[in-house]
Amino acid sequence: MYDPAGLMLLARHTELDDQTIGIISRTGVPGVYIEDEFSRDAEIRDVISSEVKKSALQIVHDVFIRAEQGETVDEERIASIVSQITRQVIEDRDVICNLVNVRAYDGYTYFHSVNVAVLAGVLGAKLGLSEAELNDLITAGFLHDVGKVFIDIDIINAPRRLTAEEREVIKAHPGMGYEFLRDNYSFDQDVLLAVYEHHEWFNGEGYPRGIKGDQITLPARILKVADVYDAMTGKRCYHDPYLPSDVLEYIMGRDGMEFDPDVVAVMSRELCLYPVGCEVELSDGRRALVIENHKGAIQRPKVKIYDSGEEIDLASDRKSWNLTIVKLFL
Ligand SMILES: [Fe+2]
- Cα 158 to ligand 1 centroid, rounded to whole Å: 15
| pLDDT exceeds 80 at position 104 | no
Predicted pLDDT of residue 60: 93
| Distance from Cα 276 to the centre of ligand 1, integer Å | 29
pLDDT in tens, 68-92: 999 999 999 999 999 999 998 888 7
Neighbours of 157 (CB within 10 A): 12
CB burial class (10 A; 0-12, 13-18, 19+) of residue 296?
exposed
pLDDT given for residue 107 in this prediction: 61
Helix axis angle, 108-126 to 131-143, nearest 10°: 160
Residue 62 C-alpha to ligand 1 middle, in angstroms?
Answer: 18
pLDDT tens across 271-288, in order? 878 888 888 999 999 999
Is the pTM of the predicted complex or chain greater than 0.95? no
Enumerate the active-site residues: 148
Which CATH homologous superfamily contains domain 47-270?
Hypothetical protein af1432 (1.10.3210.10)
What tens digit of pLDDT does each residue of 46-63 get? 778 878 888 898 899 999
Q: Where in the chain is the domain with CATH 1.10.3210.10?
A: 47-270
Measured in Å, residue 273 CA sits from the centre of ligand 1 at 24
- Distance, in Å, from the CA atom of 132 to the CA atom of 186, rounded to the nearest integer, reads 15
Count of H-run helices and E-run strands, the chain = 12, 5
Predicted pLDDT at 93: 74
pLDDT higher than 50, residue 102: no
The reported pLDDT for the residue numbered 105 is 46
Give the count of beta carbons closer than 10 Å to the beta carbon of residue 189: 10
Cα gap 177→159, rounded to integer Å: 23
Question: How many angstroms separate the alpha carbon of residue 247 from the centre of ligand 1?
Answer: 18
Spatial distance between the Cα atoms of 232 and 239, rounded to a whole number of angstroms: 9
pLDDT score at 2: 72
Q: How far, in Å, is the centroid of ligand 1 from the Cα of 69? A: 20
